[in-house]
Amino acid sequence: MDSEFRPNPETNPEDITPSNNPQESFPKKYPVQHILKGSRKAIINTMHTLHVVGYAEIVEWTPLQPT
C-alpha cells in the first residue's frame, strides 16, 4: 500500500509543517476583517471579549458607526 503513495514534488513539507523553533512560537498573522452588527453594548462586549482571549486589541477596531 505504501508503494501507491505518490508525494507531490511541488509540496515542500517544511512549508506546511510548523516550526519547532522557539523564536517562531507565534504563527504568522494574516489580515482578516470582521463586521460586528448589533446593539452598541453587544458590540463593545464582543470587542472586549476578543481582547481578553488575545484575539484582537481594542485599538485595532474602527470607531463604531451609527446604523
Domain ranges for the chain, please list them: 25-67
Reported as a pLDDT band with limits 50, 70 and 90, residue 29 is confident
* Nearest Cα residue to 64 out of 33, 49, 45, 43: 43
Reported as a pLDDT band with limits 50, 70 and 90, residue 66 is confident
For cell 505504501, name the residue: 2
* pTM exceeding the 0.75 threshold for the entire prediction: no
Complete DSSP assignment for 1-63: -GGG----TT--HHHHSPP--GGG-SPPP--------S-HHHHHHHHHHHHHTTS--GGGSPP
* Nearest Cα residue to 29 out of 60, 65, 63: 60
**Residue scoring higher pLDDT (17 or 36):** 36
- pLDDT at position 2, please? 52
Q: Which three cell numbers stand for residue 14?
A: 517544511
